Amino acid sequence: KTSLVWFRRALRVTDNRALRTALAASESVVPVFVIDPAILKRPDTGERRVAFLWAGLRALDTELRQRGSALIVRCGEPAQELARLAEETGATALYYGQEYEPAGKARDQRVVEALRNLESVACRDHLLAEPESLATKAGTPYTVFTPYFRLWQEQAFLAPVAAPERIPTPQGIASEPLPESVSVLPAGERAAQEQLQGFARAALRAYDTERDFPALPGTSQLSAYLKLGMLSPRQALGAARQCREQLPVDRRAGVDAWVRQLAWRDFYYQILVHFPHVATGSFKPKFDALAWPNDPTLYAAWERGETGYPIVDAGMRQLAQTGTLHNRVRMIVASFLTKDLLCDWRLGERYFMQQLLDGDQAANNGGWQWAAGTGTDAQPYFRIFNPVSQGEKFDPDAQYVKLWCPELKRVPAKWAHKPWELSRNEQAAVNCVLGKDYPQRIVEHSEQRARALALYKMVAKED
Ligand code: FAD
């Protein structure tokens, strides 16, 4: 039997259950990736992420070639392309990784229906806990993270499977060439492994104390690899557990805190699966009635990193220039857009998806709804981040803001998160005159805070 192995996310040969399962059941397999022009045209598809995908496909092709196979690349509507390829190769089965996003699930359903005469097998390659595997005692999905995490921790997850040594593949199948691309992040499973091992050796054990400081290399920077499956969460968890075992019991808090983040990843996926309305609206529907002013001038200043609030501007410039952003700063800029600029969180959600290398619908949507106070979190909407105290707390030496806002370079750290408190002469003395060298604040935090509270109160009476 010949089987198609349809790659979408799990762009790896190691710990790829779809590939392993297909190989176990077939004489030969045809690894295929279908470039869907409809996805490339979507407003939430970012150029940087696409370049990283191309580079990832090349890396995957290299891994496959080392095992006697190659990646077939086709461009077009997936159901049609896969049907055509099945006919060309005489394939009688289709193996692929389970999908969770609403659009991806609908596409898979279309493909399975169109390829009715092929056996279709969905495998588990993207999450640790499958969305339907954890439920409350009442049998309902979890909507609060802490109890979800308690149960999550008790699970025996699947172990990673090794890469196959040989991948028998029929020869001579035509493939489209992959476009040239320059990715800002080295792509592929080898690069992902290097990043994981480096993190496990260095920052992982101090993750609990360093993860919140954007100037420190305190986090793993694995999210883009996890998003496209150049690394599996099973491999990530395996490395963490290995590191944990080697540490004395009282020094395991860093590893434990990091594993908790992997659970957040699963948590937001299960929210998206069980409550697909979050893809377009608030998790708590009452917040859909919020009358966001959505002032385009304020929104544009946020995107450009010219709000006059250094921690916000530094974050937005880092995002635009690199496609990455530290989690703490994601929370700060998201809170600022919604609670200070009174713009709909969906505007920020879409911009993040366009810019982020790790742009992932479940995590991004969860993060934005958390920040906007419309999501699953018990955190009430009236807890509003103060961009100055957040900056002072998490960037105390102003190293981060000075890196991305060089206008502030000579401003003493004490004032770097609130340069407006310097007199005009003091500003001139450090080459940072507001309105000339660095923007004036576009809003005043305490005033906007009051406006935001009034806005939310109109729809959240019962809170
Ligand atoms: P680490 O701190 O090393 O964490 C390890 C892994 O755990 C991450 O790689 C990621 O896969 C997962 N993880 C960590 N925090 C979260 C979280 N809060 N929710 C879900 N998974 C998490 N993450 C994305 O992967 N894609 C997104 O598009 C995305 N958008 C976000 C938008 C907002 C507004 C916010 C507040 C958070 C968003 N996150 C997103 C979550 C988080 O910011 C990133 O996962 C993290 O910054 C990635 O850096 P890291 O790999 O060094 O993470």
Compute the distance from residue 363 Cα to the ligand 1 centre, in Å. 7
| Pair (306, 259) in one structural domain | no
pLDDT at position 9 over 80: yes
Query: Which residue, of 79, 104, 125, is where some domain finishes?
Result: 125
Q: Which residues are annotated as a binding site for FAD?
A: 207, 219-223, 258, 261-268, 358-360
Compute the distance from residue 315 Cα to the ligand 1 centre, in Å. 15
Compute the distance from residue 327 Cα to the ligand 1 centre, in Å. 6
CATH number, domain with residue 29: 3.40.50.620
CATH number, domain with residue 208: 1.25.40.80
When pLDDT is averaged across residues 411-415 and rounded to a whole number, the result is 97
Output the pLDDT for position 8.
Answer: 96
| Pair (249, 329) in one structural domain | no
Output the pLDDT for position 359.
Answer: 97
Query: What is the extent of the structural domain holding 376?
Result: 285-459
Residue 179: band (very low, low, confident or very high) from pLDDT cuts 50, 70, 90:
confident
CB-ligand 1 contact for 354 (6 Å cutoff): no
Q: Which amino acid is at 82?
A: L
| 6, β-bridge pairs | 32, 96
Query: Which residue, of 274, 297, 327, is where some domain finishes?
Result: 274
Residue 274: band (very low, low, confident or very high) from pLDDT cuts 50, 70, 90:
very high
Higher pLDDT, 24 or 172: 24
Take residue 71 and report the two structure tokens written for it. 């990646």
| Pair (252, 335) in one structural domain | no
| 94, β-bridge pairs | 4, 120
In a domain, 70, yes or no: yes
**Cα–Cα dist 233/15, whole Å:** 10
Output the pLDDT for position 389.
Answer: 98
Contacts (Cβ under 8 Å, ≥6 apart) of 68: 166, 167, 168, 169
In a domain, 290, yes or no: yes
| Pair (331, 443) in one structural domain | yes
pLDDT at position 463 over 70: no
pLDDT, tens digit, 9 for 90 and up, residues 344-385:
999 999 999 999 999 999 999 999 999 999 998 766 777 899
In a domain, 134, yes or no: no
pLDDT at position 80 over 90: yes
Overall number of domains in the chain: 3
| Pair (65, 214) in one structural domain | no
pTM for the whole structure:
0.97
| Pair (260, 291) in one structural domain | no
**Cα–Cα dist 315/306, whole Å:** 11
In a domain, 148, yes or no: no
When pLDDT is averaged across residues 34-61 and rounded to a whole number, the result is 92
Query: Which residue, of 274, 299, 328, is where some domain finishes?
Result: 274
Output the pLDDT for position 462.
Answer: 55
| Pair (7, 79) in one structural domain | yes
Antiparallel, parallel or unpaired: β 93-97 and 2-7? parallel
Output the pLDDT for position 317.
Answer: 98
In a domain, 438, yes or no: yes
| Pair (320, 262) in one structural domain | no
Residue 181: band (very low, low, confident or very high) from pLDDT cuts 50, 70, 90:
confident
CATH number, domain with residue 379: 1.10.579.10
Contacts (Cβ under 8 Å, ≥6 apart) of 21: 95, 121, 123
Q: Give the three-class secondary structure for 31.
A: strand
Instruction: Convert 153-163 to b/e letters by CB count within 10 Å (16 or more is b).
Output: eeeebeebbeb
pLDDT at position 10 over 80: yes
CB-ligand 1 contact for 356 (6 Å cutoff): yes
